[in-house]
């Protein structure tokens, strides 16, 4: 069975419950939401459109298991970050940018870690002391880079940044980020 999923993502983590969703790209576009709680994954459809609700019901009976495996693999790949005790690698790209997302100056640092297969992109916004952490999760389908900073533990993010804080060309501008 072909997996026809697009734009998987995590909306948030609250009280050890992970909330996320994806779009099915088949006959019609249906948004499937998931919740991962106590090692159990559940799916729901928030649409009020009868056609989408019927499609979701059929999907749940016939295809849920295959998609469940993909979502669990996705979550397992993200969880691996929290279990890495130290990060090593090299900066492969860095530049100053005007963010299209929020219209302010940002610093983009891309790091290839030895411990994970794909590079991680830090996008820092020192003006409001915020950042995005982007990563392309290696799962069985082609997905774009997704924001994962809100999923990882704060300590993990700090461990990822600390070895590169003094190696970037923007170390003075980013001195107080992720401390």
The string of pLDDT tens digits covering residues 51-106 is: 999 999 999 999 999 889 989 988 998 999 999 999 999 999 999 987 666 678 89
Q: Does 101 share its domain with 70?
A: no
Give domain status of residue 170, yes or no: no
Q: Measured in whole angstroms, how far is the alpha carbon of residue 126 from the centre of its chain?
A: 21
Give domain status of residue 169, yes or no: no
Decide which of 82, 102, 117 is a domain's last residue: 82
Q: Does 45 share its domain with 95?
A: no
Q: In degrees rounded to 5, what are phi and psi of residue 50?
A: -60, -40
For the chain, give the mean pLDDT.
89
Decide which of 65, 82, 99 is a domain's last residue: 82
- Residue 108 corresponds to which tokens in the numbers above? 């983009």
pTM: 0.82
Domain holding 131, by residue range, is: 89-164
Give the count of domains, the chain.
2
Which of 9, 14, 35, 158 minimizes the C-alpha distance to 45? 35
Give domain status of residue 43, yes or no: yes
How many CA atoms lie less than 13 Å away from 107 in the CB half-sphere?
A: 19
């Amino acid at each position: 069975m072909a997996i026809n999923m697009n734009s998987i993502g995590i909306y948030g983590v609250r009280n050890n419950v992970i909330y996320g969703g994806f779009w099915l790209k088949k006959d019609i576009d249906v948004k499937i939401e998931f919740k991962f709680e106590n090692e159990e994954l559940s799916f729901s459809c928030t649409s009020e459109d009868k056609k989408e609700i019927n499609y979701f019901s059929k999907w749940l009976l016939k295809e849920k298991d295959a998609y469940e495996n993909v979502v669990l693999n996705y979550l397992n790949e993200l969880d691996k970050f929290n279990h890495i005790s130290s990060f090593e690698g090299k900066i492969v790209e860095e530049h100053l940018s005007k963010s299209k997302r929020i219209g302010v100056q940002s610093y983009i640092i891309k790091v290839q870690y030895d411990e994970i297969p794909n590079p991680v992109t830090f996008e820092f916004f020192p003006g409001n002391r915020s950042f995005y952490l982007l990563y392309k999760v290696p799962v069985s389908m082609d997905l774009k880079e997704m924001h994962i900073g809100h999923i990882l533990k704060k300590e993990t993010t700090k461990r990822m940044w600390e070895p590169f804080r003094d190696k970037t060309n923007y170390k003075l501008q980013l001195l107080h980020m992720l401390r």
